[in-house]
């Protein structure tokens, strides 16, 4: 029995010895890694933000937890580039605000590490996917387009053309001259469709540019080049255009094109519409090709225009007339007015509601011509459109392009008169249809603006 107890005692002491030896070995191994003391981390930067800019960023953060911090280091390009920022702790919470400059345009990952005087480092704080903007971004920016500028008394109204908001447009910086002759600058936000310039000086011009902010935290704004010398013209439609129709069919103001009579017209086999003559505009026989022959009806019809049903429309159309096939070909159909216009600069606009025009065979033009007639299509095909209209048959014009079904668009021509001049303006079309195919031009409205001398 005593022998058995001795054996157990020896085994117990042996196990204790092995455990002690192992512990000492592990402790010695650990000491190899912490020679000089235990590992000490400094407090890391808190609330880190890195704000994008033009070829630079702004690094922002807070020093809160560790008053021993003496510097921080900002790394980028996989730690190939870095910047040291001295830190002097004075308050309970101190701020980090440091620009990193001379960066190439692109996307970066940043690390920020703090250090104390002994060189102990913090755990890195990482910000990934930080964008830096530069010339490529700047060159991609578009100045807000303008669809219309009008002047009513001393108030100029700009109608903007619309802009993609993805690149961060903020506002338009507009510079104009007021009635006292003083240059005035105003900001007009991009989320509005129109902007007014009050107290605007007549016959002056304005300049504008669009200001961009790449993202909501960006530190730099970007500017497009100025568009300079934009005119604000007075709407003189009521004075010089009879029965002008409506540039915007859905507008609650203005009047649709009117026919000569609602009790006269023609319905032709192959087309269910009732064709009439357009009031106050001169139209030749070729343009009135819906009836028993030419010079009957055809320059006015009701149709759906920009979702407005039964809208009174100026019309050229040829084709799908199964009753009188000869009327399916329109040669130099014309709809026009003649007015004595004062000297000045003019802009003549038309709203094309729909246009089906085969480019090789069916052509139409919007024209302003000195004299009492409109040129033929063949003459316009070889003429040069002029800005200054001086002599008889000088013309400013634009060819009307086909449009997708139901897609409306605005066309314009500009011309200058140096003296009172008789001008004929309107439309001319050659449409070569047949009993199965028709070509057409539908106009919703015409508008004239002037900048008088």
3-class state of residue 168 by DSSP: coil
Taking only the tens place, the pLDDT of each residue in 302-340 is 999 999 999 999 999 999 888 899 999 999 999 999 999
| pLDDT for 162 | 86
Bridge partners of 339, per DSSP, are: 423
Spatial distance between the Cα atoms of 12 and 7, rounded to a whole number of angstroms: 9
Taking only the tens place, the pLDDT of each residue in 6-26 is 544 455 545 454 444 444 444
Mean pLDDT score, 248-256: 94
Nearest C-alpha neighbor of 166 from the set 108, 106, 223, 212:
212
Mean pLDDT (the chain, rounded): 89
Q: Is 225 exposed, middle or buried (0-12, 13-18, 19+ CB in 10 A)?
A: exposed
Bridge partners of 363, per DSSP, are: 430
3-class state of residue 425 by DSSP: strand
Please, which residues have CB within 8 angstroms of residue 237's CB and are 6 or more apart in sequence? 244, 446, 447, 448, 449
pLDDT band for 417, please (50, 70, 90 cuts). very high
Q: Where are the domains of the chain?
A: 46-134, 141-235, 237-452
- Topology at the third CATH level for domain 46-134: Immunoglobulin-like (2.60.40)
Please, which residues have CB within 8 angstroms of residue 326's CB and are 6 or more apart in sequence? none
Q: What is the pTM of this model?
A: 0.64
For 286-316, what is the HEC assignment? CCCCCCCCCCCCCCEEEEEECCEEEEEEEEE
| pLDDT for 203 | 84
Least confident of 33-37, 95-99, 339-343: 33-37
What one-character-per-residue DSSP string does 258-294 give? -BS-SS--EEETTEEEEEBPBTTSEE-TTT--SSSSS
Taking only the tens place, the pLDDT of each residue in 19-53 is 444 444 444 443 443 455 566 778 899 999 999 99
Taking the CA of residue 19 as centre, how many other CA atoms within 13 Å lie in the half-sphere pointing to its CB? 6
| pLDDT for 323 | 87
Mean pLDDT score, 100-112: 97
| pLDDT for 202 | 87
- Topology at the third CATH level for domain 141-235: Immunoglobulin-like (2.60.40)
| pLDDT for 39 | 65
Spatial distance between the Cα atoms of 192 and 271, rounded to a whole number of angstroms: 43
Q: Residue with structure tokens 């009513």?
A: 152
Q: List the structure tokens of 266.
A: 């023609």
Mean pLDDT score, 396-402: 94
Spatial distance between the Cα atoms of 62 and 48, rounded to a whole number of angstroms: 7
pLDDT band for 184, please (50, 70, 90 cuts). very high
Mean pLDDT score, 349-375: 91
pLDDT band for 270, please (50, 70, 90 cuts). low
What one-character-per-residue DSSP string does 339-373 give? EEEPSEEEEEEEEEEEEE--TTT-EEEEEEEESSS
Cβ neighbours around 125 below 10 Å, total: 17
Q: Is 354 exposed, middle or buried (0-12, 13-18, 19+ CB in 10 A)?
A: buried
| pLDDT for 16 | 53
Please, which residues have CB within 8 angstroms of residue 430's CB and are 6 or more apart in sequence? 330, 331, 332, 333, 361, 362, 363, 364, 377
Mean pLDDT score, 138-142: 95
Taking the CA of residue 281 as centre, how many other CA atoms within 13 Å lie in the half-sphere pointing to its CB? 32
Is CATH 2.60.120.260 the right assignment for the domain spanning 237-452? yes
Task: Tell me, yes or no, if the two domains 141-235 and 237-452 fold the same way.
Answer: no
Mean pLDDT score, 58-85: 94
222 close to 137: Cβ distance less than 8 angstroms:
yes
Between residues 25 and 132, the one the model is more confident about: 132
Q: Does residue 245 surpass a pLDDT of 50?
A: yes
Cβ neighbours around 115 below 10 Å, total: 18
| pLDDT for 41 | 79
Please, which residues have CB within 8 angstroms of residue 30's CB and are 6 or more apart in sequence? none
E-assigned strand segments in 153-277: 155-160, 169-177, 183-189, 194-197, 205-212, 222-223, 227-231, 233-235, 266-268, 271-275
| pLDDT for 8 | 47
120 close to 40: Cβ distance less than 8 angstroms:
yes
pLDDT band for 452, please (50, 70, 90 cuts). low
244: phi then psi, degrees, rounded to nearest 5: -80, -10
Spatial distance between the Cα atoms of 146 and 162, rounded to a whole number of angstroms: 8
Taking only the tens place, the pLDDT of each residue in 197-217 is 999 998 899 999 999 999 999
| pLDDT for 147 | 80
């Amino acid at each position: 029995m005593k022998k058995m107890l001795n054996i157990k005692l020896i085994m117990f002491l042996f196990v204790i010895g092995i455990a002690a030896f192992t512990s000492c070995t592990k402790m010695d191994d650990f000491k190899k890694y912490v020679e000089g003391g235990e590992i000490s981390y400094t407090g890391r930067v808190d609330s880190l933000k890195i704000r994008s800019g033009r070829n630079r960023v702004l690094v922002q953060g807070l020093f809160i937890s560790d008053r021993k911090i003496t510097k921080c280091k900002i790394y980028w390009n996989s730690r190939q580039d870095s910047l040291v920022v001295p830190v002097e702790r004075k308050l309970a919470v101190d701020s980090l605000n440091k620009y990193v400059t001379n960066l190439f345009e692109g996307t970066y990952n940043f690390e920020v590490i703090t250090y104390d005087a002994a060189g102990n480092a913090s755990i890195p704080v990482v910000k990934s996917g930080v964008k830096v903007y530069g010339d490529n971004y700047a060159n991609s920016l578009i100045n807000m387009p303008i669809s219309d500028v009008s002047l009513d008394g001393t108030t100029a109204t700009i109608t903007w053309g619309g802009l993609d908001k993805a690149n961060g447009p903020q506002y338009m910086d507009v510079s104009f001259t007021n009635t006292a002759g003083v240059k005035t600058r105003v900001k007009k936000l991009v989320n509005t469709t129109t902007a007014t310039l009050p107290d605007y000086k007549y016959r002056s011009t304005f300049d504008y540019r669009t200001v961009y902010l790449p993202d909501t935290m960006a530190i730099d704004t970007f500017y497009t080049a100025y568009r300079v010398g934009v005119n604000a013209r007075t709407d003189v439609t009521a004075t010089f255009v009879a029965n002008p129709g409506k540039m915007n069919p859905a507008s609650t103001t203005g009047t649709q094109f009117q026919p000569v009579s609602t009790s006269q017209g023609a319905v032709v086999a192959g087309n269910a519409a009732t064709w009439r003559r357009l009031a106050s505009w001169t139209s030749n026989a070729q343009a009135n090709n819906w009836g028993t022959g030419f010079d009957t009806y055809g320059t006015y019809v009701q149709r759906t225009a920009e979702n407005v049903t039964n809208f009174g429309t100026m019309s050229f159309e040829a084709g799908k007339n199964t009753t009188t096939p000869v009327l399916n070909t329109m040669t130099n159909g014309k709809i026009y007015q003649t007015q004595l216009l004062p000297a000045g600069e003019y802009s003549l606009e038309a709203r094309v509601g729909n246009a089906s025009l085969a480019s090789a065979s069916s052509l139409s033009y919007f024209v302003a011509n000195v004299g009492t007639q409109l040129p033929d299509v063949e003459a316009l095909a070889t003429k040069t459109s002029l800005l200054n209209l001086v002599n008889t048959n000088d013309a400013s014009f634009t060819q009307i392009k086909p449009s997708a079904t139901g897609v409306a668009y605005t066309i314009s021509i500009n011309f200058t008169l140096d003296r009172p001049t008789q001008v004929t303006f309107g439309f001319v079309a050659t449409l070569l249809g047949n009993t199965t195919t028709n070509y057409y031009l539908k106009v919703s409205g015409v508008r004239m603006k002037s900048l008088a001398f």
